[in-house]
Amino acid sequence: MNKIKDYRKEYGVSQEALAEAMEVTRQTIISLEKEKYTASLNLAYKLAQYFNTTIEDIFFSDAEHGRG
């Protein structure tokens, strides 16, 4: 389970605004949030930079890191 929606809400950013910032469509953001689409490495990096966090924090649970 990724945390894109959690970060987006925490930052008060709409799906449309995030899509514009990431240079993708709103449908891409929706698909990412519903985990029907896997982000490219480039997009994952841009999301991590945008939310001032790491790719791992957005896309991997603690259990997947071996910490859960």
Q: Which residue has the tokens 């896997």?
A: 38
Structure tokens at 59: 């896309």
For the chain, the domains span 3-51
Rounded to two decimals, the pTM is: 0.86
Domain 3-51 classification at class level? mainly alpha
Whole-number pLDDT of residue 61: 74
Residuewise pLDDT in 10s, the chain (68 residues)? 899 999 999 999 999 999 999 999 999 999 999 999 999 999 999 999 999 999 999 999 765 555 44
Task: Say what the pLDDT of residue 1 is.
Answer: 87
Q: Output the pLDDT for position 63.
A: 53
Helix (H), strand (E), coil (C) string for the chain: CCCHHHHHHHCCCCHHHHHHHHCCCHHHHHHHHCCCCCCCHHHHHHHHHHCCCCHHHHHCCCCCCCCC
Dist CA 24 CA 65 (whole Å): 28
